[in-house]
């Protein structure tokens, strides 16, 4: 009797530690996809990881580093039997990927993504997906300036935010499951409307990247000697911009092509503010300069208090 | 005999480890001054450190942390008997300080500074100094977003550059001594014309800071909810700008007031480039975006190769 009880307990335990997703397919296995796979493994959320990548070298790296159990270059093959499909490629490709995988998705599967733009992804992906799968668009706000599966690490999402932008027709259960997954991977989770997400990210991410790319471009247009000096003496602020501007060019091209309106709106405000600063400097208005610079510290304090520094 | 020999050796050794400067006066003991004092101590370059600061709290901190042996709020008293005087206050104050200390400087003393602007400092300081002291203007290209003596640390200058901008009449010996001091403090040293320094720094430091302050200002003008979200989701690029924009407001006010022409020139180029980017985004020109973004990576590689990343 006691023995039987133990057996029952043991069975229950085995059931409890079964992974959340038996099979997860990553379409794209770069910095974010690889980090997700590693974070999922760390949390025991996944059985088999399938990685789909165009380049043979990427597939080999994903296997060699133990990020994926199986690899393929074929979108359709990748998703067969997958309980969760993560689209983790530059957002410009997401529509075509959705179209390619749609007929091969397992009924009841969850499809999510990691794109830095949400409305355009929703518009491009949702129409292709069959009604018997659940689409939960997502965006983990984490990253580094490095690219490729070799740049991935399990801790990338710890204490960072992941924003989910479920559609009105997305099942609450599927959204809750994806949120639960992200929390178990170390992240905080918030829900948002896609359009609102895109405006927030235009300010916090897209404009900063645009500016960093632009200033680095301005510097690279300098004459040879001056350019070398800029590199040599970059420790004074410039190198922080170059780190931001070292991010994946294709990914960023797609972001700007797919979040044009929000980016242009916030860029317009920034340009006006910069023109005002130019005038203040030209006039030599010390108090106005100090005022602006003092406000910067307050925002920084807010970020430190929000533990996102 | 053998004993006598040992004694002689011992004497020679004592002489060899005598500090480069018996007494060093810091006018201003914030992040840079305190880090210099600590780096000088680490290298055994200094006997007594005198720190001059307006605020009683700053003086107490400098004493408590073992940064200074003596403190005073009086510029003139601070420099009496000093072999080296380091002016390490916001550059706008340097002229008045030079005037106040001039009559109290020890003949043969070296006066240096750490200002991020050099031509304006040379113009403000040099006319006040007596002919029997040596003025070696300098600028260590290192820092953090933190301020005050408590932010100082001996390693701040390790593998960073210090630029010296000696005047035509500065003795080569004094310049060499200051260069030697910086090398022993861990830094690399380069000489430059003041005006050229100011142009290089306008690009590598002043424009990046101006932009960081401006974008943080743009964000802080947002309505309450959106502003809170920007702080919450800052991990995506924005927080790097806020770190830059957390630097000392008074110091930066003085930099922009004293390097106006170079800053306005490079700001003009940047604004033109930004307008071009705006047009590219509006047109949805993918190849042009990717081109610009790819160039960013090349500059970043240069900085990594130059070991300034």
- Those residues with Cβ within 8 angstroms of residue A23's Cβ, 6 or more apart along the chain or in another chain: A46, A47, A48, A50, A81, A82, A83, A84
Q: Is A288 on the interface with B (CB under 8 A)?
A: no
Chain A's closest residue to B229, CA to CA, is A200
A264 contacts in B (CB within 8 Å)?
278, 281-282
A199 contacts in B (CB within 8 Å)?
226
Phi-psi category of residue A148: left, alpha or beta, with phi > 0 → left and psi -120 to 50 → alpha:
left
- For the beta carbon of residue A104, count every other beta carbon within 10 angstroms: 18
- How near does any CA of chain A get to the CA of B284, in Å? 6
The structure tokens 């533990």 sit at A307
| Distance in angstroms (rounded) separating the CA atoms of residues A5 and A3 | 5
Please answer yes or no on whether A289 and B252 come within 8 Å at the CB atom: yes
B295 contacts in A (CB within 8 Å)?
216-217, 220
A289 contacts in B (CB within 8 Å)?
252-253, 256-257
The predicted model gives B156-183 an average pLDDT of 97
Query: In b/e form, how buried is each residue of A17-29, taking b as 16+ CB within 10 angstroms?
Result: eebbbebbbbbbb
Amino acid A3: pLDDT = 43
Q: Is A249 on the interface with B (CB under 8 A)?
A: yes
- Those residues with Cβ within 8 angstroms of residue B123's Cβ, 6 or more apart along the chain or in another chain: none
pLDDT, tens digit, for every residue of B96-155? 999 999 999 999 999 999 999 999 999 999 999 999 999 999 999 998 889 999 999 999
The predicted model gives A45-68 an average pLDDT of 98
- How near does any CA of chain B get to the CA of A89, in Å? 16
Please answer yes or no on whether B297 and A208 come within 8 Å at the CB atom: no
User: Which of B50-54, B190-194, B218-222 bottoms out in mean pLDDT, i.e. has the lowest?
Assistant: B218-222
pLDDT, tens digit, for every residue of B23-47? 999 999 999 999 999 999 999 999 9
Q: Rounded to the nearest 5°, which phi and psi values hold at A23? A: -140, 125
- With contact defined as beta carbons under 8 Å apart, do B173 and B133 qualify? no
Report which of residues A9 and A90 the model is more confident about.
Answer: A90
The predicted model gives B200-210 an average pLDDT of 94
Report which of residues B221 and A184 the model is more confident about.
Answer: A184
- Torsion angle of the four alpha carbons A165, A171, A177, A180, in this order, in degrees rounded to the nearest 10: 50
| Distance in angstroms (rounded) separating the CA atoms of residues B125 and B110 | 13
Q: Is B293 on the interface with A (CB under 8 A)?
A: yes
Amino acid B178: pLDDT = 98
| Distance in angstroms (rounded) separating the CA atoms of residues A236 and B162 | 11
Residue A6 has pLDDT above 50, yes or no: no
Interface test with A, best of B188, B204, B301 (most A CBs within 10 A): B204
- Torsion angle of the four alpha carbons B139, B144, B145, B146, in this order, in degrees rounded to the nearest 10: -100
Residue A88, SS3?
A: coil
Name the band, by pLDDT with cuts 50, 70 and 90, for residue B1: very low
| Distance in angstroms (rounded) separating the CA atoms of residues A213 and B215 | 14
Chain B's closest residue to A302, CA to CA, is B231
- With contact defined as beta carbons under 8 Å apart, do A161 and A189 qualify? yes
* Per-residue tokens: A293: 């610079």
Q: Is A266 on the interface with B (CB under 8 A)?
A: yes
| Distance in angstroms (rounded) separating the CA atoms of residues B309 and B303 | 6
Q: Is B151 on the interface with A (CB under 8 A)?
A: no
Q: Rounded to the nearest 5°, which phi and psi values hold at A193? A: -75, 140
- Domains of chain A by range and CATH? 2-192 (3.40.50.720), 197-305 (1.10.3660.10)
The predicted model gives A134-160 an average pLDDT of 95
ipTM of this complex prediction, to 2 decimal places: 0.86
pLDDT, tens digit, for every residue of B237-275? 888 888 888 888 999 999 999 999 999 999 999 999 999
- How near does any CA of chain A get to the CA of B148, in Å? 15
Amino acid A237: pLDDT = 83
Q: How far is CA B103 from the centre of its chain?
A: 26
Amino acid A16: pLDDT = 54
| Distance in angstroms (rounded) separating the CA atoms of residues A189 and A175 | 11
Beta strands in chain A (DSSP E): 21-27, 46-52, 70-72, 84-87, 110-113, 134-136, 138-141, 161-164, 188-191
Name the band, by pLDDT with cuts 50, 70 and 90, for residue B83: very high
- For the beta carbon of residue A73, count every other beta carbon within 10 angstroms: 13
- How near does any CA of chain B get to the CA of A90, in Å? 12
Name the band, by pLDDT with cuts 50, 70 and 90, for residue B3: very low
């Amino acid at each position: 009797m006691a023995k039987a009880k133990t057996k029952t307990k043991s069975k229950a335990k085995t059931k409890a530690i079964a992974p959340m997703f038996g099979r997860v397919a990553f379409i794209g296995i770069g910095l974010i996809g690889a980090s997700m796979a590693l974070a999922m493994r760390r949390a025991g959320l996944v059985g088999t990881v399938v990685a789909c990548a165009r380049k043979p070298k990427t597939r080999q790296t994903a296997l060699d580093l133990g990020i994926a159990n199986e690899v393929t270059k074929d979108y359709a093959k990748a998703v067969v039997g997958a309980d969760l499909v993560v689209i983790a490629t530059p957002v410009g490709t997401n529509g075509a990927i959705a179209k390619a995988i749609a007929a091969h998705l397992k009924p009841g599967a969850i499809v999510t993504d990691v794109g830095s733009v949400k409305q355009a992804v929703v518009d491009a992906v949702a129409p292709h997906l069959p009604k018997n799968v659940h689409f939960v668009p997502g965006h983990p706000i984490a990253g580094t300036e490095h690219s490729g599966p070799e740049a991935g690490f399990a801790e990338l999402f710890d204490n960072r935010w992941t924003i989910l932008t479920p559609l009105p027709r997305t099942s609450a259960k599927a959204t809750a499951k994806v949120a639960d997954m992200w929390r178990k991977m170390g992240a905080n989770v918030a829900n948002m409307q896609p359009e609102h997400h895109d405006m927030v990210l235009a300010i916090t991410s897209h404009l900063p990247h645009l500016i960093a790319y632009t200033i680095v471009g301005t510097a690279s247009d300098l004459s040879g000697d001056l350019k070398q000096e800029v590199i040599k003496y970059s420790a004074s602020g410039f190198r922080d911009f170059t780190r931001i501007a070292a991010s994946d060019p294709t990914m960023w091209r797609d972001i700007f092509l797919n979040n044009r309106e929000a980016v242009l709106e916030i860029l317009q405000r920034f340009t006006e503010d910069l023109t005002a600063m130019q005038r203040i400097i030209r006039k030599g208005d010390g108090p106005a300069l100090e005022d602006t610079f003092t406000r910067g510290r307050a925002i920084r304090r807010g970020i430190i208090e929000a533990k996102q520094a």
